[in-house]
Chain A
Amino acid sequence: GENVEQHPSTLSVQEGDSAVIKCTYSDSASNYFPWYKQELGKGPQLIIDIRSNVGEKKDQRIAVTLNKTAKHFSLHITETQPEDSAVYFCAASIKGSQGNLIFGKGTKLSVKP
């Protein structure tokens, strides 16, 4: 089955710097790659996603890149702010798997003012 590896497990940056979180997946049939943000005491919330027919997607300060050949995808956050501090999860899903997502283990991002 699908396996998703996420690195790093913790990341600390200064406010205004960029943050990059990387994930690899094992099943070449995976075609959907979302990123979720989880704030303390809350459920995860989708922040951006990408499908396998696209190489990059941006939404203001957040971008995701996908390399299908290497089977990895990354989350890029530019001009980080203290409110970006949270746990971020990547995930992967296979078409026809009835929406089942396999999640990475998470990255705790801390943005220092």
Chain B
Amino acid sequence: NAGVTQTPKFQVLKTGQSMTLQCAQDMNHNSMYWYRQDPGMGLRLIYYSASEGTTDKGEVPNGYNVSRLNKREFSLRLESAAPSQTSVYFCASTRRGEDTGELFFGEGSRLTVL
């Protein structure tokens, strides 16, 4: 089992460019999440998908869009990248949809916006 797989691991963009971060899990989990991690800020939730076919905003959704493509895959799109979106992005998944259980994280995608 690979767990949670994120691509790409590293990306450099210019301001205004667009890109999509891909995430896939092979644990048959219902819920998937996108977090960003900035120095001294901890992990902040961008968007989540409690189950296939649903998506909702988290704490910091501005500038991002998501797609829950199927039960396995959850992508994060930056339509017009800004330097403030320079961060490490983590995808996570969990089995439960309504209550909280262990989150399984990917290894992260480091994005730099120049």
Closest to B97 in A: A98
**Stretch from A43-51, A55-63, A74-82 that touches the partner:** A43-51
Interface residues of B in 81-96 (CB under 8 A from A): 90, 92, 94, 96
Cβ–Cβ contact B102 & A93, under 8 A? no
Closest to A93 in B: B100
In the complex, whether B66 has a CB less than 8 A from a CB of chain A is no
User: Known contacts A43-B107, A100-B48: does B42 contact A106 (CB below 8 Å)?
Assistant: yes
Q: Which of A98, A103, A105 has the most CB of B within 10 A?
A: A98
Residues of chain A lying within 8 A (CB to CB) of residue B21: none
Residues of chain B lying within 8 A (CB to CB) of residue A104: 42
Contact with B43, one of A42, A46, A98, A103 (Cβ below 8 angstroms): A103
In the complex, whether B40 has a CB less than 8 A from a CB of chain A is yes
Residues of chain A lying within 8 A (CB to CB) of residue B90: 43-44
Chain B: interface residue count, which band?
A: 20 to 34
User: Known contacts A42-B107, A43-B108: does B41 contact A105 (CB below 8 Å)?
Assistant: yes
Residues of chain A lying within 8 A (CB to CB) of residue B43: 44, 89, 101, 103
Residues of chain B lying within 8 A (CB to CB) of residue A103: 42-44
Give chain B nearest CB distance to A21 CB in angstroms.
Answer: 13
Interface residues of B in 69-114 (CB under 8 A from A): 90, 92, 94, 96-103, 105-108
Knowing that A34-B103, A93-B100, A101-B103 touch, tell me 18 more A-B residue pairs with CB under 8 angstroms: A9-B40, A32-B100, A44-B90, A44-B103, A44-B105, A45-B105, A46-B102, A49-B102, A96-B99, A99-B33, A99-B96, A99-B97, A99-B98, A100-B45, A100-B48, A100-B100, A103-B42, A104-B42
Query: B: which residues have CB within 8 A of A?
Result: 4, 31, 33, 40-45, 48, 50, 56, 58-59, 90, 92, 94, 96-103, 105-108
Query: A: which residues have CB within 8 A of B?
Result: 6, 9, 32, 34, 36, 41-46, 49, 89, 93, 95-106
